[in-house]
Chains A and B, each alone.
Chain A
Amino acid sequence: MEFVMAIVIGILFMAAVYLILSRSLLKIILGTGLLSHGVHLLVLTMGGLSGASPPVLAEGVTDYADPLPQALILTAIVISFGVTAFILVLAYRTYAEHQTDDMNLMKGNDEHD
């Protein structure tokens, strides 16, 4: 299963990088969203996918899924959500101020060369 997941993660990374390299601000944000999904799945996959039951104590169960990567991903999800919300608003403000979302036009001011 890890083999399939590795390929899925690779596709997520590829799509994310492709979007991030584009000139449109919105596409860059979409790209960061895909990138964080890719990372979360990567952490989960690296922890191993062989666990038979969720990491909640239950009678007669010994083969739990690894809880540590899950805790790490939980933290990461929340943080990436915070960051996504922030850059979304940042994009909104940028668009409101500059009336463009073309990254090539946001080169800084030539006067400050």
Chain B
Amino acid sequence: MEFVLLIFLPIVVALFVPLLFRKLKAIHTGWFVLLVPIALFIYYTGFITTTMDGGHALSELQWIPSLGISFVSYIDGLSLLFTLLITGIGALVVLYSIFYLDKNREKLNNFYVYLLIFMSAMLGVVQSDNVISLYLFWELTSISSFLLIGYWNTRDGSRFGALKSMMITVFGGLMMLGGFILLGIMGDTFSIRELIANAPTFIGHEFFTLALVLVLLGAFTKSAQFPFHIWLPDAMEAPTPVSAYLHSATMVKAGLYLVARFTPIFAVSEVWIWLVTGIGLLTLFWGSIFAVKQTDLKAILAFSTVSQLGLIMSLLGAGALAYHSDDPIFKFATFAAIFHLINHATFKGSLFMIAGIVDHETGTRDIRKLGGLMSIMPVSFTVAFIGSMSMAGLPPFNGFLSKEMFLQSMLAIRHFELFNFATWGIVFPVIAWIASVFTFVYSFYFVFKTFAGQRKSEPLPHKPHEAPIGMLVSPVILAALVVGIFFIPNLIGKWFVKPAVMAVQPGLYSHPSEVAVHVMAWHGFDAPELWMTVSLVGVGIVLFLTMARWQKLYDIQPEYLSLNALYDSAMLFSEGGMNRISRFYMTGLIRTYLMYMFAFIASITAATLFIKEAFVVDMESFAPVNLYGVLTAIVLVIAVCMVLLAKTRLSAIIALGGVGYSVALFFVIFKAPDLALTQLVIETISVALFLLAFKHLPSLSNHGQTKRNKLGNLIIAAGVGITVTLVALSAHSQKLIPSISQYYKDTVATEAGGGNIVNVILVDYRGFDTLFEIAVLSIAGIAVLAMIRLKLSRKGENTDENK
């Protein structure tokens, strides 16, 4: 079967969602939707056996074959892992949303359509083997995320958050497209597999580093890495199922997927390792510190997500070192990254769902108003406890295992010998340790400030009670996984992580079982990471207990120095700046625009003339000076000056007529009888027309034009006039090919049977010109008539008045 079509299954189902919502009002629409991720999850589990052996499955659908663009579903260890996360957590989130969203009050049709589009897009991102279709799905995730964040579109916060995430992720997406195109140019293919196969030839290519940075920009914006993480906390305005699904478990991991997928291409570069590891660690550090500042449950989780994504990112960067060193510890880092990616999806999904339950059952998410819910909501508390302890990295939860591996990798990085790591490497474990301490603090802060302690005296908006059972199913399943994975890490490793590691580092292994990593909860007393954990737990507990005293330190940072303020002012400045610029040059005055045009025409033409050294005057080619011609020229110039200097309308019109008749005289002198005739007649009619309109037109006036204006006009006018003269002289002096006219002269009698060559050209050789010239004249006539007769009044006033 062509399983590439399954990517589109959610979108196809989305078409029917509005129908189901309208016609079957009694049943919550989510129940129908739930079938989709469950079916997909079950289907995709069938691929586990394939990828466990290091194999892959491929299915292709041609889209634009001539450009090498197709939909390819390429399932290897990495994409299967992501696919199962997307469909599995998708199913749990849909189940949760059935109880979270009220079927009578919410626009469920919109919600599930957006969610299903997102699901398709995400499946497309992780399965695509073609970078162009990958980009297509990538942007579709941005758009559906935008729609989902703005789901409650009557709230200002939702709209602001949606716009902000759109701006940042689409910016990154476009940069990524640039990187993909450069890769396509370097590798002469859009297929990721072929790009990876061609990768060794890219090194040293002039586009290599640029493509690397552009692809990373895409990954960093999507995965909320510093300094692009600012959209994620604002995206918390979305309904909680969306936050749990998109902004913790799936979409924000698309950037990680991208980094993992392109590691075989870029890992040879020092820039890649420094950027991925460095930015990842910085994000980890920044996110963990600022999570403690937050007072909104979802905001704490948002910063925690940012921080954990940074952790995985830095591990992916460290894993790239495996291409430079035989030390098995760096292969270990990739394993740790993938393993923590799974763990994070489980515990963060459950924590978001708990935050939603607390919000749903108490009416607030403000941690300052909450407290002492432990006895009222025991199940929620248990789940929140398991999730938080896993996030803090304590046994017996899966977060502990990945934290240990993380510390181990960071400790190992300082022994790496290339790229100045020996000098700076010590920074890595130190930052990792500090970030872990703060992770510990905010995990405790999240769970104990909400559930432990005394109830606050201020009553909560709702009377708190335990959530309905349906709402608890999904978080309980996820919490069970959190504990379960701790006890069977090597089974998870064998089924999911090792095939994924092989996909990330394809050149290093031929079979997943060669990834020699055995996850152990206990390393013995000699292991330094054990002592790091012990010390961070100690410091963390002290910090947590004294939190009330030092949390005020966060107020030292003024609001206007934050990254959000920077983003806001950049937006305001670009809007205001663009406004000012366009107001500056778009004056609304026709004179200004004409001055731009004339000045540019004259200067560009004159500059070209001199740069190309095209200005040549060849006196030889000129006809001898004709006395009558010179006299007519003098008359014409005098008439032109009279037009310019005329004080009244009448003298101006007469002078213009004088110019016209002089032109007719020129036509006589230069042997153009038909032109002279026409010019005389037309000039007469024109003057008559001017005189007719004369009565209705205002008197000639300068409208108080200043001397400066006039001088500007004169300079531009002189520029245009001189340019035209120079162009005319040099064009005439450098004829490149003889005139075609000899043909007309030779054949006019024999072919066309006429004697007047001009007339024969007009009606015979080039009759089409004449046809449309007639059309122009007719249209002008009709338009003149319409202008005079038609009097439509403005703004719906009485239209019959003037008839």
Contact = CB atoms under 8 A, between A and B. Distances in A.
B784 A86 contact: yes
Contacts of B702: 22-24
Nearest to B788: A89
A103 B589 contact: yes
Interface string B454-491: 00000000000000000000000000000000000000
A102 B703 contact: yes
Contacts of B679: 40, 77
B761 A6 contact: no
A88 B690 contact: yes
Q: Classify chain B: how many residues form its interface, as a range.
A: 35 or more
Nearest to A107: B588
B713 interface: yes
A88 B693 contact: yes
A66 B663 CA distance: 18
Given A18-B644, A56-B756, A104 B703 contact: yes
A37 B696 contact: no
A81 B712 CA distance: 30
B663 A41 contact: yes
B697 interface: yes
Given A71-B758, A96-B696, A7 B643 contact: no
A37 to B, nearest CB: 5
17 contacts: A3-B617, A4-B629, A7-B633, A10-B728, A12-B636, A23-B702, A33-B686, A34-B656, A44-B670, A55-B672, A70-B674, A75-B773, A81-B777, A82-B781, A85-B784, A89-B693, A102-B701
A82 B673 contact: no
Interface stretch (B28-36, B51-59, B315-323, B716-724): B716-724
Interface of A: 1-27, 30, 33-34, 37-38, 40-42, 44-57, 64-68, 70-71, 73-75, 77-79, 81-86, 88-93, 95-96, 100-104, 106-108
Contacts of B731: 46
Interface string B727-769: 0110110000001110011001100000111100110001001
A20 B769 contact: no
Interface string B679-699: 100100110011001001110
Contacts of A65: 670-672
Contacts of A2: 621-623, 728-729, 732
Contact of B682 (A16, A22, A48, A78): A78
B741 A82 contact: no
A41 B718 contact: no
A68 B724 contact: no
B25 interface: no
A72 to B, nearest CB: 8
Interface in B612-633: 617, 619, 621-626, 629-630, 633
Contact of B666 (A13, A44, A88, A108): A44
Given A10-B728, A22-B702, A68-B744, 11 more contacts: A3-B619, A4-B633, A10-B721, A10-B725, A11-B640, A34-B640, A52-B671, A56-B756, A81-B682, A95-B696, A100-B698
Which 7 residue pairs of A and B lie closest in terms of their CB atoms, listed nearest first? A14-B721, A10-B725, A82-B780, A18-B717, A67-B757, A107-B588, A17-B717
B741 A67 contact: yes
Nearest to A83: B780
A89 B291 CA distance: 72
Contacts of B720: 13-14, 17
Contacts of A16: 717
B656 A57 contact: no
Contacts of A49: 623, 626, 629, 670
A24 to B, nearest CB: 6
A57 B700 contact: no
Given A2-B732, A67-B741, A73 B777 contact: no
A6 B725 contact: yes
B437 interface: no
Contacts of A44: 666-667, 670, 672, 675
Contacts of A89: 693, 783-784, 787-788
A44 B668 CA distance: 12
Interface class of chain B by DSSP: helix
Contacts of A57: 748-749, 755-757
B761 A71 contact: yes
A84 B623 contact: no
Contact of A78 (B643, B766, B777): B777
A24 B705 CA distance: 10
B418 interface: no
A68 B766 CA distance: 10
Given A8-B633, A68-B740, A92 B697 contact: yes
Contacts of A17: 598, 713, 716-717, 720-721
Contacts of A11: 637, 640, 721
B209 to A, nearest CB: 45
Contacts of B626: 1, 49
B643 A77 contact: no
Contacts of A100: 698
Nearest to B704: A23
B643 A34 contact: yes
A64 B713 contact: no
Contact of A81 (B652, B674, B686, B788): B686
A24 B717 CA distance: 16
Contact of A33 (B656, B722, B780): B656
B590 interface: yes
Interface string B125-143: 0000000000000000000
Contacts of A92: 693, 696-697, 787
Contacts of B781: 82, 85
A7 B725 contact: yes
A71 B589 contact: no
A9 B674 CA distance: 21
A3 B697 CA distance: 39
Nearest to A48: B623
Contacts of B673: 54, 56
B430 interface: no
A19 B716 CA distance: 11
B452 to A, nearest CB: 58
Contact of B686 (A3, A10, A84, A107): A84
Given A44-B670, A91-B693, A21 B741 contact: no
